[in-house]
Chain A
Amino acid sequence: MKEFLGFVKKEFIHIFRDVRTLVVLFGLPVAQILIFGFVIRNEIQDVNIAILDKSKDPVTFDITGKILSSGFFRLYSYLDSDTEIESVFKSGKVREVIVFEEGFADKLQRENKSALQVIADASDPNSARMIVSYTQGIVADYLKEVNRNVPLPQVINVPVRMMYNADLKSAFMFVPGTMALVLMLVSAMMTSISITREKETGTMEALLVSPLKPVQIIAGKVTPYIILSFINATVIILMGYFIFHLPIRGSIVLLFAETILFITLALSLGIMISTISNSQVTAMFIAAFALLLPTLLLSGFIFPVENMPRILQWLCSIMPPKYFITIIKNVMLKGTGIGEIWSETMILIGMTSFFLLVSSFRFKIRLQ
């Protein structure tokens, strides 16, 4: 036991001596949460548009004014002819061109009907969809004003309740996701690299002939990262709570218990990776592609799993972060107890045992 503690201490010294990595280690989650929380926005605002007004009458000026004062759009320039549309799009300066037909006000007056064309740069399809629907909305609002003397029946009333996240804050989705990402990065990647490093530099043999048992060597390697990961997880939860006002509706004990479970899983995954790779570069690439990519993309972190093709959905279901993110969202944001998440928890426990089992087999082979 004394040897073991000494070994753990040595590992700690190794990590703390390396100030740069420590800075990144703790800076990464903080920076990520801040970027996600403050930078990533899905609504549109200040989109540059161009206007081709073939009519130039009070009505088109009115509509233009409404569009430009909405806050969503900003005038880049007025165009003079249809041919300019193409080039203004190609220069990348505007996202939308609005074309008013000739005699716009006249037609509206006489035939009660006129036409307006909206051309959107759909090389970014989601924003294009939003830009068009915002424009339609503004025109519809304008018409409502014009038609205010005609009695309108209020036909549709669909009150919507946004459950668990009334303001549609993006932090509700980014905080759990970042937690999974950072824990994977710190626990699995750092562990696998740190163990592979001993192999690559040849110091592993020195460790193996020491009185420490292989299990103790691994445990000693892993212990500092458990603590670091735990601190990171706590920092992320606190930042979510204090900066982005994420509620913690469920039990804190359960939240931390699940976090520790996930850290254990990530560490065992890291150990498994280290048993199958011989160089740090290999370990890093396996870690990057087996861990980082899936955590970002195949876990429902950013993109919902249900939208993916079947095969990818199957792939998603063997990705540990998917279950962890579900658990965190449930416990923190919905306030569910263990009853609703026991199946996810069991899957995580099963995966952890599997990784540990595989590693112990692989590790023995290496010793012979």
Chain B
Amino acid sequence: MRTILFIIQKEFLQVMRNKTMIPMIFALPFVQLVILANAATMDMKNIDILFVDKDLSSLSAELIRKFTHSPFFNVVSRGFSEKEAEEEMLKNNTDMIMVIPGDFEKDFYKSGKSDIQVQVDAINGMTAGLMNSYAAQIINSFYSEKLSSAGPNAIRQMPLKSVNVDYRFWYNSQLNFKLYMVPGILALLLTIIGMFLTSLNLVREKEIGTIEQINVTPIRKYQFIIGKLVPFWIIALFELALGLTLGKLLFNIPMEGSLLLLFAFAALYLIAVLGIGLFISTLSQTQQQAQFLNFFVMVTFVMLSGIFTPAESMPHWAQNVNLVNPLAYFIRINRMILLKGSGFADLSIDFAIMSVMAVSLTALATWRYRKIA
């Protein structure tokens, strides 16, 4: 036990002495939270829209005004030629083109039917869909407003059956995307600290040859591994506390559930991640190799975990892969505890699975480690 404590002390000294490490440990959560949470947003605003108004009627002007006043749109210009408009889109000067045909106003008052043609730059399929639905919303409300006040008589009163669909958004009524991202980012943060720092630190000993010196000391393998892992386990938990504080201060993220439960799960999760880091270190001879493996594993985990996109809509095989993806569990549980206030009863299965993962990953890594070093 004393040996382990000495190794831990030595590791801490080394980490603290490293001039790049300290700023990293404090700056990392800050930079990640501030940049990631603000950059990773799907709240559309400033959609550039270009009107080709061939009608030039008061009705078309009114429609355009609706868009000018909307916080989501930014009317870049008006033109008369569709060809010019398309060229503007080629040059990335506009996201959307709306063509108002020549007899827009006339048609509307005669039959209540008019056409508007919309073109969307759809290279980014996700945002194209969103932009289109925002525009459709404005056009819809414009039409119904106009119809009820000035539309043809026949349309005004009809014995229609209707169902009023009233919707509520629970746990995030403002649909604030940041509240969704912050718990995910915290999970990323812990993974980077746990996996990257551990594997690099272990491989470094191999690379510069100091591992041999340790091998000839009476230190046992398990003592060495525990001594190496514990400091990063503590640092990562400290990062979580720091990240949560920043999240509260900067984004006012809700903390509905028990923080103790969150830290308990994080502690388990970190054991699993440290195990992966240890495992990666057994596969690599140089820090370069380790780093590359880290990135590979990390990117794959992150993409599969559903940090940006809902995991349910993935194909079934990917959902099955996620059953063994610790990051997917941690991100989901972070969100459940922080935003919804889920309790231990809701998460007991996840706790059990994570314990199994933590034990088996570290066991596997330790077993591999002994064979190589």
Contact = CB atoms under 8 A, between A and B. Distances in A.
B308 to A, nearest CB: 6
Interface centre among A40, A158, A165 (most CB of B within 10 A): A158
Given A18-B289, A122-B173, A172-B125, A139 B39 contact: no
A311 to B, nearest CB: 8
A68 B235 CA distance: 47
A302 B299 CA distance: 14
A298 B293 CA distance: 24
Interface centre among A43, A46, A124 (most CB of B within 10 A): A124
Contact of B172 (A123, A194, A306): A123
Interface string B150-183: 0110110011111111111111110111011000
A171 to B, nearest CB: 9
B139 interface: yes
A112 B332 CA distance: 42
Interface string A238-263: 00000000000000000000000000
B332 A158 contact: no
Given A156-B140, A302-B40, A303-B42, A31 B287 contact: no
A117 interface: yes
Interface stretch (A227-235, A277-285, A352-360): A277-285
Contacts of B44: 304, 307
A310 B103 CA distance: 40
A28 B40 contact: no
Interface in A10-45: 18, 20-21, 24-25, 27-28, 31-32, 35-36, 38-45
A108 B161 CA distance: 7
Contact of B314 (A39, A124, A197, A298): A39
Nearest to B316: A46
Interface stretch (B1-9, B107-115, B360-368): B107-115
B139 A285 contact: no
A329 B124 CA distance: 10
B125 A35 contact: no
Contact of A280 (B40, B287, B296): B287
B258 interface: no
A162 B171 contact: no
Given A156-B139, A289-B31, A298-B35, A193 B41 contact: no
Contacts of A362: none
A297 B168 contact: no
Contacts of B161: 108, 112-113, 143, 146-147
B45 interface: yes
Measured as residues with beta carbon below 8 angstroms from the partner, the interface class of chain A is 35 or more
B120 A163 contact: yes
Interface stretch (B212-220, B336-344, B351-359): B336-344
B122 A124 contact: no
Contacts, number: 320
Nearest to B129: A168
B177 A126 contact: yes
A21 B168 contact: no
A112 B164 CA distance: 11
A156 B108 CA distance: 10
B132 interface: yes
A185 interface: yes
A39 B123 contact: no
Contacts of A304: 44, 124, 127
11 contacts: A41-B315, A113-B162, A115-B166, A117-B165, A123-B171, A126-B177, A142-B163, A157-B113, A165-B125, A168-B122, A312-B38
Interface of A: 18, 20-21, 24-25, 27-28, 31-32, 35-36, 38-48, 63, 89-92, 95, 108, 112-129, 132-133, 135-136, 139, 142-143, 146-147, 150, 152-170, 172-173, 185, 189-190, 193-194, 197, 200-201, 279-282, 284-285, 289, 292-293, 297-298, 302-304, 306-309, 312, 315, 326, 329-330, 333-334, 336, 340
A-B pairs, 8 with minimum CB distance: A168-B125, A122-B169, A162-B122, A125-B175, A122-B172, A123-B339, A165-B122, A297-B39
